[in-house]
């Protein structure tokens, strides 16, 4: 356990509502304000964004008491319902909608976008072979 109560929130963000020090709550207000200035954000009341997270959404919608833990990486159009959250090192990219109470586990990746790559393999009955190869 960390000796710094504010630092403990980075990896246990659900503790924010039961015991975040005033300094951590003030820092959250600054973080929320900065996010709304750089993106078309609609943010609910009293949600937690770790300063160690990278959140670069084009249009975030984060409802009341949601959270984003340390080292999480969010890009794209992200919508999170009430009390939804992501644990440390989660990656959410593209257009993603999470309902109320949804939790994304640590080290989970949700890549909701298309790389627009050409298909390099074609199926042949029960096995794969490189494109252009012959039997």
Average pLDDT over residues 13-19: 89
pLDDT in tens, 118-127: 554 444 444 4
> What's the helix, strand, coil split of the chain in %, to 5?
25, 30, 45
**Sequence-distant (≥ 6) Cβ neighbours of residue 49 within 8 angstroms:** 28, 31, 32, 35, 55, 67, 68
Query: Phi and psi for 90 in degrees, rounded to 5?
Result: -75, 150
pLDDT in tens, 34-68: 888 888 788 888 889 999 999 887 777 888 899 99
In the structure encoding, which two tokens stand for residue 135, read together?
Answer: 């039997």
Longest CA–CA separation in the chain, Å: 69
Q: Which pLDDT value is given to residue 72?
A: 94
pLDDT in tens, 60-94: 788 889 999 999 999 888 888 999 989 999 999 98
């Amino acid at each position: 356990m960390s000796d710094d109560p504010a630092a403990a929130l980075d990896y246990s963000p659900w503790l924010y509502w039961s015991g975040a020090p005033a300094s951590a709550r003030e820092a959250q207000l600054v973080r929320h304000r900065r996010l709304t200035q750089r993106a078309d954000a609609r943010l609910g009341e009293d949600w937690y964004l770790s300063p160690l997270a990278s959140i670069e959404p084009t249009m975030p919608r984060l409802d009341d008491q949601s959270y984003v833990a340390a080292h999480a990486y969010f890009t794209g159009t992200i919508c999170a319902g009430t009390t939804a959250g992501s644990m440390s090192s989660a990656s959410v990219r593209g257009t993603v909608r999470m309902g109320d109470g949804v939790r994304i586990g640590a080290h989970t990746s949700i890549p909701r976008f298309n790389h627009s790559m050409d298909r390099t393999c074609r199926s042949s009955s029960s096995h794969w072979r490189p494109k252009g190869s012959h039997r």
